[in-house]
Structure 1
Amino acid sequence: MNPGIYAATTVRILRQLRTDHRTVVMITLVPSLLMILLYFMYQNVPPGPDGRSLFDRIAIVMLGILPFVVMFLVTSIAMQRERVSGTLERILATPLAKLDLLAGYASAFSSAAVVQAGLACAVAFGLLGVAAAGPVAWVLVIAILVAVLGVSLGLLCSAFARTEFQAVQFMPVLVIPQFLLCGLLVAREDLPDWLRWISNVLPLSYAVEALQEVASRQGTTGPMLRNLVVVVGFIAVALALGAATLRRRTQ
């Protein structure tokens, strides 16, 4: 990687993102608005035997899932738009390395993910009164990492799409199964063996487990840190595979 080219690529993408007002609104506001919607959905649900509301249990996990979904969708479409417009092919005809390009995209959208996660956490813990046994700072860190995971997987999937519509089609293939098997709807240990094996190779499962650790245990726990290491590993692998599969010529 060339640090100068990488930095210039990141700045270019941030400038483009700043002018796309609808995308900015989607990235920054949609997770927070959905958290508010969830609050009113569960407002009249009685608390569980431990005194915690169902909203508290779900909200902390959704602080990771919602940024993941939004960033995957936005990143995969944005990258595909570069390819369809011919911008990507012109860029790749220069000495720019593929990893410089993907790292620039990852950094730019990850910067947006920091704002997104920070605002969503502020709404959840400040406005909606969500409570966690562990430090709120860890929830923020995990939410940012999961959003970056969505960015890296979006970049990877965009390499296999020819149109923006095809990029969206990866949602039901890659994102929805992770949502169903991550442990939010049914505990992973209660899944049938073959579904639990699938869940074990899906990155969102580890992010949700880390958030559940923060929600239920005080301080920093070993399982939480191990899950975060796994998530970081998935991010690195996705970016590496994205660089390896990125075509220099649009077919």
Structure 2
Amino acid sequence: MNARRTLATAGRVLQQIRHDPRTIALLLVVPTLLIGLLAWIFVDTDVFQTIGPAMIALFPFIVMFLVTSIATLRERRSGTLERLLAMPLGRGDFILGYTLAFSLLAVAQASIAVTFAVWVCGLTIEGSIWLLLAVALADAILGTALGLLASAFARTEFQVVQFMPVLVFPQILLGGIFLPRDQLPPVLEAISDWLPLSHAIDALNAVAADSESAAWIWGQIAILGAFIVGAIVLGSITLRRRTP
């Protein structure tokens, strides 16, 4: 892997996205609008205060997963990836370049979502707002990494969507959004411990309630980081030059 090639790949991806206002809106605006809609639905109740932190994890995660996986798949289906890999660019450079580009977008996305949820929707945060932002950022990058991994196996955009019941839906169901994880059946609770979104939701809830130490929160972020690195490594190993 070469840092210059990785940065060049990231710059090319960002340049492409800059000329695609629909993708920019999907990445930066849609998660915020969904959080706002949810807050509006429960405006006269305390429900948003309960599920709001989890939504900061959920919506950006799903959007980053979809956009990253489809964008990467199109590079392969169009033959762009095959031409790039015919040059000195390696698979690791390609995957890391995409990760870097979408991670920068994730910074903006997480910042907008957290700012809107707290200062516009009135989500009460008892802990550090910076810790909340750090967890939200790690969660959005996780969606990027899993999207890159899914794109390595998918052949069409429809197959990318088919990966959602495998990679995304179980994490939503077992992540503690509908029922606290410690109230799940023991087997399901054990499974949820191995799902990265569970750790993101736990950390965001803990920051919102200020119920855990900063060291514990950073431990959850480290776990998310391990999942991110694992997905990137596996994605770079399994990435094919072109879709058959």
Deviations 1:16-59 (A, max 9, x none): 111111111000000110111011111122xxxxxxx2211211
Quick one: structure 1 residues 249 and 43, their matched pair in 2 at CA, closer, same or farther if it must change by over 3 Å?
closer
The equivalent residue for 1:48 is: none
Q: In structure 2, how many angstroms separate the alpha carbons of the residues matched to 1:2 and 1:220?
A: 38
- Kept in 2, the 8 Å contact 1:75–1:154? The answer is yes
Instruction: Report the residue type matching 2:143 in the other structure.
Output: G
Q: In structure 2, how many angstroms separate the alpha carbons of the residues matched to 1:163 and 1:125?
A: 38
Deviations 1:199-230 (A, max 9, x none): 11110011111111101116843321211110
1:60-79 superposed matches below 5 A: 60-79=53-72
- TM-score, normalised relative to structure 2: 0.96
The equivalent residue for 1:201 is: 194
Deviations 1:162-187 (A, max 9, x none): 11111111112211110110011111
- Kept in 1, the 8 Å contact 2:77–2:242? The answer is no
The equivalent residue for 2:177 is: 184
Q: In structure 2, how many angstroms separate the alpha carbons of the residues matched to 1:220 and 1:14?
A: 36
- TM-score, normalised relative to structure 1: 0.94
Q: How many residues align?
A: 244
Is 1:211 matched up with 2:225?
no
The equivalent residue for 1:153 is: 146
Instruction: Give the secondary-structure state (helix, strand or coil) at the position aligned to 1:159.
Output: helix
1:86-101 superposed matches below 5 A: 86-101=79-94
Instruction: Report the residue type matching 1:34 in the other structure.
Output: L
Instruction: Give the secondary-structure state (helix, strand or coil) at the position aligned to 1:247.
Output: coil
Unmatched 5+ residue regions in structure 1?
Answer: 46-52
Unmatched 5+ residue regions in structure 2?
Answer: none
| Percent of pairs with identical residues | 47
Is 1:230 matched up with 2:219?
no
Instruction: Report the residue type matching 2:100 in the other structure.
Output: S
- Kept in 2, the 8 Å contact 1:203–1:230? The answer is yes
Q: In structure 2, how many angstroms separate the alpha carbons of the residues matched to 1:219 and 1:177?
A: 26
CA RMSD of aligned residues (A): 1.3
1:1-251 superposed matches below 5 A: 1-45=1-45, 53-217=46-210, 220-251=213-244
Q: In structure 2, how many angstroms separate the alpha carbons of the residues matched to 1:249 and 1:64?
A: 32
Q: In structure 2, how many angstroms separate the alpha carbons of the residues matched to 1:17 and 1:155?
A: 16
